[in-house]
Structure 1
Amino acid sequence: MTLLNPADTLERQNEKLVQITEALMRRVEQKTEQSGVAYAQFERAALLEAEVRQRTLDLERTLDLLHEANAQLGVANRQTETARQTLTDAIETVSEGFALFDPDDKLVLSNSRFCKDLTDIKNALIPGLSFSDYVDLISHSRFLSLPESETSEHWAERRMLRHGDNHVIFNVSLIWDRWLQVSEHRTSQGGTVILQTDVTDIIRLERRERDKLRDHQAEMVSATLEHLNQGVCIFDANERLVFWNQRMSTVLDLPIQDGVIGGTFSRLLDKLSYEVTFSDTFDMGRLRNWAANRSGRRPIAFEIRSGTESILSVFAQELPDKGFVISFTDVTSEREAARALFEMNERLERRVEARTLELGDALAEAERANSSKSRFVAAASHDLLQPLSAAKLFMSSLSETVSDPASLDVIDKAETALGSVEHIIEALLDISRLDAGKAVFDIQPVALNAILTPLRDELSPVAEAKGLSLSIVPSGLTVKSDAGYLRRIIQNLVTNAIRYTDSGKIVVGVRRTALTARVEVWDTGPGIAPEDQRLVFQEFKRGDPARSANDGLGLGLAIVERACKTLDHPLELWSEPGAGSCFSVNLKLADAGSESAAGPVNGEPTANAAGLIIMLVENDEQLGRALLMMIEGWGSDVLWARTAEEALELMREIDLVPDMLLMDQHLGQGMTGLELYNEISLQEGFVPGCIISADRSKALRKECRRHEIDLLTKPIDTMRLARLLEDVSKRTFAILSETT
């Protein structure tokens, strides 16, 4: 605990110490008793006196510091005043008006040029004035020039909004055509500096230059409009004429005085109403309404006729100042040319139509001729196949009964010749069917090995006979195609390679890509020149014309090209003279897991058909007799009927069900082969059967599959017929074994 209050000043503390000391001394002097208490009080008084002396020294030092600080403050005040005066003198020397507002938007100082032109508020610009009050004073000054559409309050509001930006420059319009440029900047402490610059002379100079430029541009526009080959007139927002070029008088056939500047648009229309005729889609009333519209005019275009011959194209458009410009263009020659062109087009269209009809008749005639040719080839080929099949069957039967080597050699050559004729007829039939678009395709999964393996066995001897090496690489791929036509395509390509290769080898292989299998046939033949590579796919065109006609008629590649195109199997050819050739066919791969269709295979005919009873129904005498001799040569008995009725009658007479029915589909009058098979099946139950026909249509194949009956196409494949009889023989033997 202390006797002094630390919060008191040094003078007050010293004063209290003096009072305490005097009080203690009086008490010591008044007491006469010699006691320890009096001595203690004396001792305390001595201590207090020492503390008073120390405090007095501290007070003296503090006063010295205070006097020194006051001296420094005086110097600082003098320096500040000097700086203020210097700043005041400096801003007074500035040619612009200057004002400084502190961070609280209070006016600190300004020079005499600040708002000097606004004398009605000059005296109110004193330090401490708020920025908002300053703006309010400016907005209500009688020297401020505001647009008619703007009030003082609105101007003050916009000014305060600009005050929020860090840097602002704008112009203020004053009365008597004077202008101030106001530049406002933000200081680093958050204050605001405003500079006012008198830009009246600059704006007046710019205005004069702009007027000169406008006059110059007006002269240029006037010269340009006078140079135009169009009549042009310009009206202001009050529909008064402000420009009229010389071409207007010529185009509208109006005197020059009618285009006096200052005339009204209505006056011009009144004069035009007697001189021009409007088109059907436009009239004078619509033009007047368009000009009178002040809410925004859309550009308009129309045509008028001046006098009896001139046609004028009129275009009117609004200008930015709400005026409008109208141009008149003489389009008489263009319209006459268009009319002449239209009449010419009409004549040409009539001629084209007539020519089109003639070409249509010619095309129809050509199509009829082509169709007739195709039907003739198909009919002729079909008629030739009947005796050809009979001849082949006769030769096959004869070869089994003759043992003389010379006779067998003659028979072999005759069979070869008949085979060549058969191939030619089949090629002609295929060409006719493909050209007519009547080829029937059975698209299904086809195992390539089922085609390549039989072709290797069939064509290797032919290649070896010419001294060539034929290599066919097996492939386990399955593709989507027609098995018969695909075999014909590959066979023709390999046969063509063998025919035109004199030495070396032929290689057949399959390359797999992502979604396709490409069958390639390579040879070491003479090659084909680039200019001849398209010709080899034409019918009756051969790579070497000097070769014998026995080498073929040049139909193989034509069939390949047409079949690939119809089956959508891209066909490609690479060849270089002296380096050989490569024909390739791209085939789509079958889906994984698809069951592969059996490809065509060849084999030797079997004679293991002894003891069978075959019902043959064939109306062609030669073919029937040939089949009879061949089947009987294999050890089977044949019941031959010429018609369906005869076959049914024969079965009733002998009361015997044959082991197999072999029937021609087209039996002339009466039932067809399938209808006869249905009739016998109803009476006798299931009987193995086979239809013989030159019809290779998809519909017949479908019907045979539906009735579960085999189909043999003409010319008859004897090896396949032999296999059918062998299958019937095995089935019959199995049934007999079960019954016994």
Structure 2
Amino acid sequence: MSLINPSDSLERQNEKLLRIAEALMNRVEYGAENSGDAYAQFERAALLEKRVRERTLELERTLDLLHQSNAQLAEANRETEAARRNLADAIETVSEGFALFDSDDVLVMCNSRFCRDFRDMTQHLRPGMPFASYVAKVSRSRYLALPEDLTPDTWAERRNRRHQDRHVMFNVQLSQGRWLQVSEHRTANGGTVVLQTDVTDLMRLERAERDRLKDKQARMVRATLDHLNQGVCIFDDHGRLVGWNQKTGDLLSLPARRLQIGADFAGLIDRLDDEVQFTRGLTREGFRLWAASPQPRQPVSFEIRRGPQMVLQIFGRGMPDGGFLMAITDVTAEREAAQKLAELNEVLEQRVMERTLELEDALSAAERANASKSRFVAAASHDLLQPLSAAKLYVSSLADRTQNGADQAVLHKAESALTSAEQIIDALLDISKLDGDGLHFDIRTVALHEIFRPLRDEMAVLAERKGLQLGFVDSGLMVQSDASYLRRIVQNLLANAIRYTDAGRVLVGVRRNGASARIEVWDTGPGIAEEDQNAIFEEFRRLDTKASRNEGLGLGLAIVERACARLGHPLGLWSEVGRGSCFMVNVPIAGRASAAVTQNPRSARPVGLSQAGLIVLLVENDPQLSRAVTVMLESWDVSVLQAASAEEALALLADLQIVPDALLLDYQLGPGPTGIGLYHSLKEHMGALPCAIISVDRSPELRQDCKALDLTFLPKPLDRHRLGQFLTAAADALCRMG
């Protein structure tokens, strides 16, 4: 806006400018007193003109930007339309039906091949059509071939349910034998691409190949049935015959005119002649009811007899389609063999019974002979000890009367020889008692200090003669044992330690070992080599061949072993050549020990074994010991599987296909695995089984290995009572599992 009108003439404009200048000069000269209002109006007009000019410039810039945006939008619309036309041209060239639905399941676009086979719905395919409407139109199309048991609504419901899956692909059958494969693919923005592919040719080829395979399979099944040595009949869900082989007619004596496709099962059963008798399993009526049952049939097996001799076994099983199959096997030879085996088994049982009676008589005779031997040794020992005692008195009297040094030396040697003979007779008497069945133990609470105190006084003299230090670590423990036999055990161990120790000391002490008190006898003797540690417990076996006969004949440790075995006190040995030895005896602590042995632990037969029916695998390479253990176990009604080595045991179990109830394994089996190695092999194939390791090796290492594997250790010679306890425990475990 301008203060003057541009359309006025120059004169008029100059006139106006002069007036304006005059007014301004008057304002300056006279202030705002006379023309304040006019000047204020002039200022406002000038300010408004400035603002109008600024707004006009801004509007001009905005208009320019709007023109640019409109130009860009028009270009984008042209490009979008071109892209749409290109996309439409591209999907139109696709040989499959193509449709695109957006993330709201609304149709965006499709090509002309989409739903081309559904001619009655192509007019409804328009952009904006919901997916559910598309499925509903297809489900009611007269060109869709639905199965007989499927309605359009059901098909549409299943189709919409499939649409929720991430990956969709299925075949649709059309009228006139055509097929479409429909697949769905998800787009990045959540839309769906639907493809329809014509797979009619593939389906026809597949059906032709399937029919060809069915024909070939039918021929193969027929050939297989005809070559079977069994009779086979196949019935459908209505009990009609659909397949059979020639062997069926031969076994059942049915003529060929009776075995025809469609023959009724009940009619075939009724046509079986009177010579056919149902002998085992089902009756004729029961078999008919089984075949007519509408419920899933359980497998059945029974036998029939045709004629005087032929026995047929029939096996029936239901099939998934509701039909059933019947297999017929001629088992005449097997039944005749089973009858002969039964007769032979009766003969063998009679022979075994006779042999068992003979063995029991022999065992009784041996036990009587052993008892007679024990009585003889006891009587002979008693009769011999009296004259030996008298002879010792005569020798002592004679030694007192003579002053000749040479004669006294001879008499001293004679007295030593008589003392040695007396000790040998005492040892033989102890061994005889421990080997006999009539031995009774007086098991009671015993204070260990009552055992140690008298032995300290007795053995101190022997130790002092050899210049040895004898030490006792006293103990206040109370144990459960027979006081006299426990004293004899410790006495023999002490005497043996003093006898074979030339220098150093002998120490006796007690350690707690769980619920047991372990009595230990240590010495600083020459030690015992590992290969000799089992031999020292044998009768009349001494490792020191230079020792005098007056120092004993090697019966002390044999007595210790027998006494510990009969009392149930585990005996252990540690020794190192050049350092010394330690003999250990474990005795139950009073109040915490298991029930003690009362009397005659080997004479009673273990309770419960006769009813358990145990099967025991015995692996022992000593034939005589193996036979003796087998006879004893069989007298307890325990079945025994014998083997002499690990390989023979594994082969025997593999042949018999039997899992034994318990294992008795010798530790030393010669070449090959040890008893523990054999146990690991059996455990790998059969699982953990009750197992006892038998060995003459009494080393702590072997006992510790058995304890770590939860195996029972049975030292040789086998104690009948401990063996019976092991088998009874195995029988109890078998009953709990059964």
Per the shorter chain, which TM-score range?
A: 0.5 to 0.7
Alpha-carbon distance, 1:493 to partner: 4.9
The within-5 A match list for 1:570-649 is 570-571=570-571, 584-588=582-586
| Partner residue, 2:338 | 338
Match of 1:704 in 2: none
Q: State the AA in 2 paired with 1:457.
A: A
Counterpart of 2:473? 476
1:205 and 2:208 equivalent? no
Alpha-carbon distance in 2 for matches of 1:133, 1:477: 103
Q: Does the residue aligned with 2:317 lie in a helix, a strand or coil?
A: strand
How far apart, CA to CA, are the structure 1 residues paired with 2:171 and 2:192? 18
Cross-structure match for 2:446: 444
Q: Partner of 1:316 in structure 2?
A: 316
Inter-partner Cα distance in structure 1 for 2:542 and 2:83: 116
Mapped to 2, the partners of 1:351 and 1:251 lie a distance apart of 40
Find the aligned partners of 1:160 and 1:193 in 2 and give their Cα distance.
Answer: 15
Residue type of the partner of 2:316? Answer: A
Aligned amino acid, residue 297 of structure 1: R
Task: After TM superposition, give the deviation of residue 278 of structure 1 in Å.
Answer: 0.8
Question: Partner residue of 2:521?
Answer: 519
Listed as ranges, the matches of 1:79-94 within 5 Å are 79-94=79-94
Report the equivalent of 2:107.
Answer: 107
d(CA) in 1 for partners of 2:416, 2:561: 27
The one-letter amino acid of 1:67's match is H
After superposition, the CA RMSD in angstroms is 4.3
Deviations 1:95-133 (CA, angstroms, capped at 9, x unpaired): 111111122221111111111112222211211111222
Deviation (angstroms), 1:513: 7.6
Q: Once the 2 structures are TM-superposed, how far is the Cα of residue 392 of structure 1 from its aligned partner?
A: 7.1
Q: How far apart are the structure 1 equivalents of 2:522 and 2:249? A: 83
Alpha-carbon displacement from aligned partner over 1:242-270 (angstroms, at most 9, x marks no partner)? 22123223333333443333322223212
Q: Match for residue 429 of structure 1?
A: 429
Whether contact under 8 Å (2:105, 2:192) holds in the other structure is yes
Tell me the equivalent position of 1:129.
129
Distance in 1, Cα, partners of 2:49 & 2:545: 153
Shift of 1:183: 1.7
Which amino acid is 2:585 matched to? L
Q: Distance in 1 between matches of 2:252 and 2:509?
A: 82
- Counterpart-to-counterpart distance in 2, 1:251 and 1:62: 108
CA distance in 2 between partners of 1:568 and 1:519 (Å):
19
CA spacing shift, 1:137–1:512, aligned 2, 3 Å: farther
Q: Go from structure 1 to structure 2 and tell me whether the alpha carbon gap of 1:38 and 1:572 turns closer, same or farther (over 3 Å shift).
A: closer
Question: Bigger CA drift: 251-260 or 338-347?
Answer: 251-260
1:36/1:592 Cα in 2 relative to 1: closer, same or farther (>3 Å)? farther
Counterpart code for 2:332: T
CA contact (8 A) 2:225 2:245 kept: yes
Structure 1 residues 52 and 549: CA distance shift in structure 2, 3 A: closer
| 1:297 Cα offset (Å) | 0.4
Give the drift of 1:314: 0.9
d(CA) in 2 for partners of 1:130 and 1:200?
Answer: 28
TM-score (norm 2): 0.65
Deviation at 1:421, TM superposition (A): 4.6
Q: What's the counterpart of residue 169 of structure 2?
A: 169
**Structure 1 unpaired stretches of 5+:** 1-13, 15-27, 29-33, 465-469, 595-740
Deviation at 1:510, TM superposition (A): 6.0
Residue in 1 that maps onto 2:189: 189
1:215 aligns with 2:212: no
Q: Aligned residue for 2:237?
A: 237
What secondary structure does 1:71 align onto? helix
Q: Which of 1 and 2 has higher RCO (CA within 8 Å, sep 6+)?
A: 1
| Deviation of the 1:355 alpha carbon | 1.5
How many pairs does the alignment contain? Answer: 553
Distance 1:71 1:413, change over 3 A: closer
Task: Give the drift of 1:504.
Answer: 5.9
Distance in 2 between the 1:483 and 1:320 partners?
78
Q: In structure 1, what is the equivalent of residue 462 of structure 2?
A: 459
Q: Distance in 2 between matches of 1:306 and 1:216?
A: 36
Q: CA deviation at 1:572?
A: 5.3
Query: Which residue is equivalent to 2:282?
Result: 282
Q: Distance in 2 between matches of 1:590 and 1:287?
A: 67
| 1:251-400 mapped onto 2 (5 Å cutoff) | 251-379=251-379, 381=381
CA distance in 2, matches of 1:548, 1:354: 53
In 2: Cα distance, 1:575 partner to 1:56 partner: 121
Distance 2:530 2:364 in 1: 37
Offset at residue 556 of structure 1 (A)? 2.9
In the alignment, the residues of structure 2 paired with residue 106 and residue 179 of structure 1 have an alpha-carbon distance, to the nearest angstrom, of 26
CA distance in structure 1 between the aligned counterparts of 2:114 and 2:93, rounded to whole angstroms: 12
**In 2, Cα distance between equivalents of 1:224 and 1:472:** 93
Amino acid at match of 2:178: R
Percent identical: 55
After TM superposition, give the deviation of residue 415 of structure 1 in Å. Answer: 5.7
* Secondary structure in 2 matching 1:98: strand
Q: Which letter maps to 2:448?
A: V
Which of 379-388 and 292-301 deviates more? 379-388
Q: For the residues of structure 1 that align with 2:43 and 2:573, how far apart are their CA atoms?
A: 137
- Per-residue CA deviation, residues 517-543 of structure 1 (Å, 9 max, x unaligned), is 543567549x8895x876664546666
The CA deviation string for residues 549-597 of structure 1, in whole angstroms up to 9 with x for no partner, is 7665653333122012123344456899xx7997753223786999xxx
CA 1:272 to 1:214, structure 2 compared with 1: closer, same or farther past 3 Å? same
102 and 416 in structure 1: CA distance in 2 versus 1, 3 angstrom threshold: same
- Structure 2 distance, partners of 1:124, 1:311, is 74
For 1:227, give the aligned amino acid.
H
Q: 1:509 to 1:200 in 2, by over 3 A?
A: farther
Question: What amino acid is the match of 1:587?
Answer: V
**Shift in alpha-carbon separation, 1:69–1:537, aligned structure 2, 3 A:** closer
Gap change, CA 1:592 and 1:382, over 3 Å in 2: closer
Query: Could you tell me how far apart the structure 1 residues matched to 2:318 and 2:591 are?
Result: 76
Question: In the superposition, relative to structure 1, how do residues 440 and 512 fare at CA in structure 2: closer, same or farther (>3 Å)?
Answer: closer
Deviations along 1:362-392, whole A, 9 cap, x unmatched?
2223223323433444455456667777887
Distance in 1 (CA, whole Å) between partners of 2:432 and 2:218 is: 82
Question: 2:672 maps to what in 1?
Answer: none
Task: Tell whether the 8 Å contact from 1:492 to 1:557 is kept in structure 2 after alignment.
Answer: yes
Secondary structure (helix, strand or coil) at the match of 1:279 reads strand
Distance of 1:363 and 1:86 partners within structure 2:
109
- Which amino acid is 1:356 matched to? T
SS in 2 for 1:120: helix
Q: Secondary structure at the match of 1:474?
A: strand
SS at match of 1:180: strand
**In 1: Cα distance, 2:279 partner to 2:590 partner:** 74
Aligned partner of residue 258 in structure 1, secondary structure: coil
Secondary structure at 1:587's aligned position in 2? Answer: strand
Alignment check: 8 A CA contact 1:541 1:553 kept: yes
User: Relative to 1, partners in 2 of residues 1:449 and 1:544: Cα closer, same or farther, differing over 3 Å?
Assistant: closer
5+ long unaligned stretches in structure 2: 2-15, 17-33, 593-738
Shift of 1:303: 0.9
Residues 456-480 of structure 1 deviation map (CA, whole Å, 9 limit, x = unaligned): 4243477x5xxxxx74562526475
